[in-house]
Amino acid sequence: MLNIALFGPPGAGKGTQSKKLLEKYNLTYISTGDMLRAEITEGSELGMKAKTIIDKGGLVDDELIIQIIEKKIQTNQDSHGILFDGFPRTTVQAYILEGLLLRMGSSLNCMISLEVPEDALVKRLLLRAKDSGRPDDALEVIKVRLQEYENKTKPVAEFYEKKNKYYPINGVGEIEFIFNNIVDIIENTKNRTQTNIVLLGKPGSGKGTQGNLLANEFGLVYISTGKMMRQEIKDGTEIGKLAKPYMDKGEIVPDEIPIQLIERKINENPHANGFVFKGFPRTLIQAYIMDGLLQRVNMSISALVEMKIPTLEAIKRLSARANTAKSRPYDSSTDLIVNRLEQYKEKTNPVLEYYKNQGKYYFIKAEGTETEVLLRLKERTIDVFKENY
């Protein structure tokens, strides 16, 4: 489904652009203002409750709004998506919309905001008042409505900015020019699908090397929680101080640490084609966390690839690494290496089962040269990329 929210202050031109979008994309039109006015015209109980509030330029309470939205959606089952005009108007309504679309197995593609200076808005609304006779287009009410928008609705922009779904455009100019700008945004958000790969495997299986190579091959962003934590330790940050005792022993750090680092990396790359995750999730709980992290930004895991090597080979590789510049504190003794391998078996095997049950599990033999392993990795994941591009 294609779900769009058209955003902007009263008089920004949302109604005009909505008509053109409905014709182009065959969407169900959700205009809370229009639907409420229809209820008022019919003299329904809902309409009478809303009339007093609307006439004063206020916002109708969420319970009434959701009732009419759900009613409209249920009577338009065959549309290709939904165009929301005038909703959500508050951050609470934004959360409500997230839940509403989630129940439908869908999500909002984008919020497009028509930006218009206040003096131009007042002129437009006063002109509209002469033609429509709407009581909420009187000057004193216009000022209240614009102030309501500033106080309550602008924070909605911040909500969707954090989800990388907010697109402001100039709402002043020729109608067709503005419409073309809106369509460009919609087409870009329709076609943009991220591919997110998790690499798992015993310590020493080459996840870091192959993760970087795979990310470069397909234009993805590589996220290694271990690498990021080592940098935090080197920089002496608070996160680094918390992570160091666990990292030194090769143990799994508390979940709140990698969560912060992953969220930061994702937020730093809002236009990425996807991500390669190395070192997370390593436990079943972390798999649940990963789903939640990605769902917040309208993404999900595309595939998990387990890089398989024999335990003896892992011990040999880690022992050899201990004598190089890439040495880790937990490579320093056989006991620490064995401890890490035991943790992998105990904690990470349930993660593999979790993704097997979702049909997202793949594996490769991780022995051989870097080139040979990369070739196997590409062969295993190429179908995932074909599905997403």
Structure tokens at 74: 């249920």
The whole-angstrom separation of Cα 68 and Cα 56 is 21
Tell me whether residue 134 is one of the annotated catalytic residues: yes
Strand blocks (E) in 207-326 = 221-224, 274-278, 303-308
Please state the φ and ψ torsions of residue 363, each to the nearest 5 degrees: -145, 155
Query: What is the signed CA dihedral for 43, 45, 50, 53, rounded to 10 degrees?
Result: 100
Q: Which H helix or E strand runs over 15?
A: helix 14-25
Catalytic residue among 134, 152, 227, 380, which? 134
What amino acid occupies position 380? R
Tell me whether residue 145 is one of the annotated catalytic residues: yes
Q: Which H helix or E strand runs over 364?
A: strand 361-365
Q: Which H helix or E strand runs over 350?
A: helix 349-357
Q: Which H helix or E strand runs over 267?
A: helix 256-268
Residue pair 3/79 in contact by the 8 Å Cβ criterion: no
Expressed in angstroms, the distance from the first to the final Cα of the chain is 17
Half-sphere exposure for 151 (CA within 13 Å, toward CB) = 8
3-state secondary structure of 80: coil
Q: Which of 305-317 are b and which e, b meaning 16 or more Cβ less than 10 Å from the residue's Cβ? A: bbbebeeeebbeb
What amino acid occupies position 321? R
Q: Which of 86-97 are b and which e, b meaning 16 or more Cβ less than 10 Å from the residue's Cβ? A: bbbbbbebbebb
Please state the φ and ψ torsions of residue 30, each to the nearest 5 degrees: -115, 95
Catalytic residue among 145, 207, 340, 376, which? 145
Catalytic residue among 20, 128, 316, 356, which? 128
Residues annotated as catalytic (active site), given as ranges: 14, 89, 128, 134, 145
